[in-house]
Chains A and B, each alone.
Chain A
Amino acid sequence: MPDESSVPIRSDVDIVSARQKGRDLAAECGFEIGDQTVIAAAISEIARNILMYAKRGEIRFRGLADGDRQGIVVVAEDQGPGIRDVSLALQDGFSTSGGLGLGLPGAKRLMDEFEVSSELGRGTTITMKKWIRRGHA
């Protein structure tokens, strides 16, 4: 099982390295190229959210094994302003930044499991998982 790795998010260059590291780990975990791309896109969106709203934060990822299931978990953590209304932030088209408002709901659609915990003034942690699909090649 590949080790946990983490990428600090402080500038737009870090978004690129986070999604590349995430893609590499997804490949090591056995994800096919389609799912590697999906995972990289989801990481890109949540890394951009960190940069936009919290200015800095961190993304960690590691391989997962649960019985005979394998997958990857990505955790994005920041000490930013927090999200006032998580269910609103997960709606398509909702944005307080003038963006497309697809970041969080888009990332949620790309992954199998998606959890947001946020406290105003304290920060936000997003935990998202994807499992390797078996049985259809």
Chain B
Amino acid sequence: MEVPILKQGDYLIASIQSALTDADLSQLREALVERVGRFRSRGVIVDVTALDVMDSFAVRTLRDIAHMARLRGAETVIVGIQPEVAFAMVQLGLTLKGVATALDLEEGLNFLNRRGKERLDRA
């Protein structure tokens, strides 16, 4: 199932709606990295609220998305990791180190807005 990607100003929002296969996750990675360029996006939000489990492949793909988007000039934030999903991830040894996370979509947008402002202040 393809993940819908919304363009919202300078940001892209990928909202996962159901369980994803490995192929779906890889497709999401390619689509986001391509669209960051096409829309000159500054931020990417991946909403994983609907994911009821995250295994090593899912975590690796999310990390790849964040790192690839950063190389293309966009910040990524993962939002909506459920408490029991977080618990299982930690036990599996999966940490998402180096990737920004936020509680929900609203916090994710706040995070990206702050990042954007910092970037302007430095300029």
Contact = CB atoms under 8 A, between A and B. Distances in A.
Interface of A: 12-13, 15-16, 19-20, 23, 33-34, 36-38, 40-41, 44-45, 48, 92, 99-100, 102-103, 105-107, 109-110
A110 to B, nearest CB: 5
Given A19-B55, A23-B52, A45-B56, 8 more contacts: A40-B52, A40-B88, A41-B53, A41-B88, A41-B89, A48-B22, A102-B94, A106-B91
Contact of A38 (B23, B83, B91): B91
B80 to A, nearest CB: 15
Contacts of A110: 88, 91-92
Given A37-B84, A37-B85, A110-B92, A44 B22 contact: no
A131 to B, nearest CB: 16
A44 B56 CA distance: 9
Given A48-B57, A92-B93, A103-B56, A16 B88 contact: no
A99 B56 contact: yes
11 contacts: A13-B21, A36-B84, A40-B52, A41-B54, A45-B56, A92-B93, A102-B92, A106-B56, A106-B91, A106-B94, A109-B91
Contacts of A107: 92
Contacts, number: 76
A54 B26 CA distance: 21
B60 interface: yes
B39 interface: no
Contacts of A12: 21-23
Nearest to A107: B92
B19 interface: yes
Contacts of B83: 34
A109 B21 contact: no
Nearest to A41: B88
Given A20-B19, A106-B91, A109-B92, A44 B52 contact: no
A15 B56 CA distance: 13
B55 A48 contact: yes
B22 A109 contact: no
